[in-house]
Amino acid sequence: MKKQNVSNIPADAASRRAAPAVICYPTYGLPHPDMANLERARTNLTKISEIIVPPRDARCFNVQKGHFFRINSIDGPQVGDLNIWSKTNLAEHFYAGKTRAIHGTHLSTGDRMWSSFPSMRPLATISHDTLDWYGWDDDGGSVHDVIGTRCDPYTAKLLSGIDYHHCCHSNLTRALSAHCQLDYAKAEPLVHDVLNVFMCTGFTKDTHQYFMKASPVRPGDFIEFFAETDLLCGLSACPGGDCSSEHSSDSATCHPLLVEVFDSDNAALDNFPYLPESQYRNACPNGSK
Ligand SMILES: [Zn+2]
């Protein structure tokens, strides 16, 4: 929380505050996904696999380029924490911060999940979201955020003094470790800030602190993604359940999540404008000009 009125207020404070807000990353020049063709393709999907993510646990799954995957609410309201890596290079992963800077604090249909530097390309495009009706509520909250990192045992220890082992960070690390047969210590640094699937969040109007409220998700709801390269994904069913009260404990009611992977009518996607890795080339890697 930012302290105010500690320093002297300058005489021209009002005019300084009145400077116009400018969008940091205007999207006029952003290459857009071909949503019309995606919509055509998703009318003819064939399920090729599914996996249940148990409550307070995580699972990893592969999605081939050109396929779709859905995260479904099944037994009751439940939030999920999603990590995405390039299957062939785990150092390239979802970059929540830059995605937020480009698309805003919460994602929905048509938004892309951008990857880390130096690749910086879309790993996936959100192709459908049954919660897109929610919009923004009176608290300034919305669904599917890229502002909340992921619940983790270090912050829990710092704030509460507890040792809790089923935070999304730990769940994702264990799942990645098992899936890729990596030591826990090697897997942990590969876990990154998430897309908080189905989570309803925002910043309070007075202190601008991160808040959560009961997720509006209900069984039957889903968010669907189109894979723009071969992906390894990790999904944790958050110990916060619907995140209406608390996380990082065993007190919330939790439910499983269902992940389904689909093949598509590839003919409709023949001309999909997949983006290559960033074409920026550092001309002076040693700092010379
Ligand atoms: Zn969590």
User: pLDDT tens digits for 21-62?
Assistant: 999 999 988 999 999 999 999 999 999 999 999 999 999 999
Mean pLDDT on 73-80: 97
Angle at 210 between CA 171 and CA 138, to 5 degrees: 120
Output the CA 262–ligand 1 centroid distance in Å. 26
Output the CA 167–ligand 1 centroid distance in Å. 5
User: By residue range, what is the domain housing residue 86?
Assistant: 46-268
The pTM for the full model equals: 0.95
- CB–CB of 58/236 below 8 Å? yes
Output the CA 198–ligand 1 centroid distance in Å. 11
Output the CA 60–ligand 1 centroid distance in Å. 16
Distance (Å, whole) CA 187 – CA 124: 22
- CB–CB of 53/259 below 8 Å? yes
Output the CA 192–ligand 1 centroid distance in Å. 13
Output the CA 239–ligand 1 centroid distance in Å. 6
Output the CA 193–ligand 1 centroid distance in Å. 11
Output the CA 149–ligand 1 centroid distance in Å. 9
- CB–CB of 224/39 below 8 Å? no
Output the CA 121–ligand 1 centroid distance in Å. 26
Q: Is residue 33 situated within a structural domain?
A: no
Output the CA 247–ligand 1 centroid distance in Å. 7
Output the CA 171–ligand 1 centroid distance in Å. 9
Output the CA 80–ligand 1 centroid distance in Å. 7
Output the CA 180–ligand 1 centroid distance in Å. 22
Output the CA 34–ligand 1 centroid distance in Å. 32
Q: Is residue 284 situated within a structural domain?
A: no
Q: How confident is the model at residue 65, as a pLDDT?
A: 96
Amino acid 268 reads A
Tokens 């990645």 locate to 176
Output the CA 104–ligand 1 centroid distance in Å. 21
Q: Is residue 160 situated within a structural domain?
A: yes
Q: Is residue 289 situated within a structural domain?
A: no
Structure tokens at 191: 């876990």
Q: Is residue 133 situated within a structural domain?
A: yes
Q: Is residue 211 situated within a structural domain?
A: yes
Output the CA 39–ligand 1 centroid distance in Å. 31
Q: What is the tally of structural domains in the chain? A: 1
Output the CA 222–ligand 1 centroid distance in Å. 18
Q: Is residue 96 situated within a structural domain?
A: yes
**The pLDDT of residue 276 is above 90:** yes
Q: Is residue 22 situated within a structural domain?
A: no
pLDDT band at 288 (very low <50, low <70, confident <90, very high): low
Output the CA 150–ligand 1 centroid distance in Å. 5
Output the CA 110–ligand 1 centroid distance in Å. 25
Over the stretch 183-204, which tens digit does the pLDDT of each residue have? 999 999 999 999 999 999 999 9
Output the CA 246–ligand 1 centroid distance in Å. 10
Q: How confident is the model at residue 102, as a pLDDT?
A: 97
Q: How confident is the model at residue 64, as a pLDDT?
A: 96
Q: How confident is the model at residue 249, as a pLDDT?
A: 80
